[in-house]
Chain A
Amino acid sequence: MTVTGYLADFSLPELFQLLEQGSKTGLLTICTLNDKTSINHHNHHIWFSQGQIVAAGNSLDQQGLMRLIAQRGWMGDRAVSRLAQTCQIHTPLGLCLKNQGVLTAEQLKLLFYTQVMRQVCALFALPDGWFQFDPKAPLPAAEMTGLIATATDVTLAGLRALKDWAALDEKLPDPSSALISVVESKPSLRLNPNEWQVWEFTNGTMAIKDIAQQLNLTVAKAQQIAFRLIVTGLAEEMPIMAAPTTSAFDLDDSTALEASIPGATTGAAPVSHSFLQNLVGFLKGKV
């Protein structure tokens, strides 16, 4: 099913995490909304295969990779176009040109870096944008180098390089929350020293602001690192619920509130089969 929304609501790192974890194949289109009165909106396209990024570009004309090759001066537009016609259908253009001895492996890597890493990483700074993921869009062989990057790697690289976090400010974990690990062993991702240090505190007990103090980081920096650990699937934000202050509310104190839960002084006692059967039978009468 098509997924649509706004980056201000569901950020690009969250979206990448969803597409990777869901092993999605299709086309993600992002329409920038920097100036809502302008008609010059820019579209960005990112193609996914099984949750991994295989190509990116600013148009759907299937000419983006050819233009990049021409811009590098490695071949003229026409020459690439002619060679592309000899490629087998569904074979990535980059791979086809490499097999023909026209491009080297290093040149392919450079193309992929320019096309995907540089273009996509720049999108993390977008303050807002409308997005749509179309799972029915075909993969564009003419835009593909044959190389792939995991959405996690792109997210990590993009967020590490991000200078202005204003676009993601509201998505950062609360400084009073803790982090809890969601992987069983040490992360296989290549974390940087600060990320490793924060990772050591993913036990659900220490607030991010305290982790910052412990590691001599600013709270904002610790939040950004925590966000990276969250959107790369290594940790989750864990709220630390504060004890009440007596002046905080006008009802009775917490003990009185707890006591007001009928029959609940000793936790959840098991209920009987007949209870459950009767309850379901009773509820079915209301359906």
Chain B
Amino acid sequence: MEIMRLVVTGPVGAGKSTFIRSVSEIEVVDTDRRATDDTLLLKKRTTVAFDFGRLQFGPDMALHLYGTPGQSRFDFMWDILIQKAHAYILLVAAHRPHEFREARRILTFMKQRSPVPMIIGLTHTDCPGAWDAANIALALGYPHPARRPPVVAINANETASVAQAVIALVQYTWAGSLTPTT
């Protein structure tokens, strides 16, 4: 079985679990539990270990999607997930500027741990107060438009939108650092 593993990461509430549910063909292995720490203030339920979704598109080909955990006591899973990933997508809620620094923190961690390609997915771009892609990219530490990863707008509730984002990630990965076998 040939498998490509994509990690879906981002601050709590950015839409990671929804993203995976929207595209997975199986019932997402839902490790959402009642949050027990500060996360409770933000979400009543959050991903404690990781979300897992799968998309099998051939007898021996499958895409696996992993969502990073939201609670700090499962931080160790981040390292495990990113080490196994072919690529990742960072989800950022465009209307919550107070989360941009957390997203930047996550990005720094990911970049240090793995050189795999990534894209930025913006959720809630239609909400009042949403920042535009160029300014969010700046806030995430990408001052040069030519040297930043693709930034795509996503409605995590819509399969088509999520599929489009995964296509963007795969195509960027394909064109970039990942060296496919022949």
Interface residues of A (CB under 8 A from B): 1, 3-5, 8-10, 14, 18, 21-22, 171, 177, 180, 182, 204, 236-239, 241-244, 248-249, 251, 254, 257-258, 261-264, 267-268, 270-273, 275-276, 278-280, 282-284, 286-287
Contact = CB atoms under 8 A, between A and B. Distances in A.
A238 B109 CA distance: 6
Interface stretch (B8-16, B39-47, B80-88): B80-88
B49 interface: yes
Nearest to A263: B3
Interface string B73-105: 111111111011110000000001110110011
Interface of B: 1-5, 23, 31, 48-50, 55, 57-58, 61, 63-64, 66, 73-81, 83-86, 96-98, 100-101, 104-106, 108-109, 112, 116, 129, 131-132, 134-135, 138-139, 141, 143, 159-160, 163-164, 166-167, 170-171, 173-174, 178-182
Given A3-B131, A268-B5, A271-B2, A10 B78 contact: no
A263 B2 CA distance: 9
Contacts of A268: 5, 83-86, 116
Contacts of A275: 2, 4, 61, 180
Contacts, number: 153
Given A177-B105, A275-B2, A10 B181 contact: no
Contact of B138 (A22, A258, A283): A22
Given A1-B132, A180-B112, A241-B79, 17 more contacts: A9-B98, A10-B100, A10-B139, A18-B135, A180-B108, A182-B141, A239-B106, A249-B48, A251-B48, A254-B80, A261-B84, A263-B1, A278-B57, A282-B57, A286-B159, A287-B164, A287-B167
A8, A21, A275, most chain B CB atoms within 10 A: A275
B163 to A, nearest CB: 4
B163 A286 contact: yes
A262 B2 CA distance: 11
A42 B168 CA distance: 46
Nearest to B116: A268
